[in-house]
Amino acid sequence: MNDDKRRIAAAKLEEEQRQTNEAIGAFIFEFSQLEFTIRARLARVLGLKDSMADIVIGPYDFAMLCVVSRESMLAKKRVSKKRKKAVEAFFKDCLTLNSQNRLIVAHALWTIGGASHISRSSLKRKIHFSDLDDLRAETGKAHQLMMRMFRDRI
């Protein structure tokens, strides 16, 4: 391979790596915004002052945060059937995003070809997000979930 072809190949590889890094970072950013919004909402539901919120809520991983938030919201007096359904659906979608995407994004071995992740249930390795547009779509879902909290007043 001549020097021009090597430079072109290296530039292409560098661009693919930049796009991969950007897609991973965008997903993690949007997911963290969703998580923060849920934490803030739970603190309000529990009536925690800012100085206590991190102490009480901080140790929760995302799944536990969702479960505690859901149950706290549903434990309030006079929760309508419509509200109960909206809260349950919202947190189901959050838990799905976490288990089907965030865990993979955060814990997989990333290469230019995607995320190589071993399932804890099957112990089989699988490639995820070989098409970065799939990851970008999940990033959009994280953002939409956060917006749904405000829109639906979760």
pLDDT value of residue 4 = 85
Q: What is the pLDDT of residue 9?
A: 87
Residue 149: both structure tokens together: 């909290």
Q: If 0-12 CB within 10 Å is exposed, 13-18 middle and 19+ buried, where does residue 119 land?
A: exposed
Half-sphere exposure of 86 (CA within 13 A, CB side): 14
Q: Which strand ranges, in their side-by-side order, compose the sheet holding 114-118? A: 109-111, 114-118, 125-128
pLDDT of residue 104: 96
- Consecutive H or E run containing 60: none
Residue 126: CB atoms within 10 A of its CB come to 13
Q: What is the Cα–Cα distance from 26 to 101, expressed in whole angstroms?
A: 13
Confidence (pLDDT) at 1: 63
Average pLDDT across each block of 10 residues of the chain; the chain has 154 residues. List them in order.
Answer: 85 94 98 98 95 94 98 92 96 97 96 92 94 98 97 92
Of 57, 14, 16, 6, nearest to 35 (Cα)? 57
Which of the 8 DSSP states describes residue 100? I
The identity of residue 94, as a single letter, is: C
Model confidence, pTM: 0.91
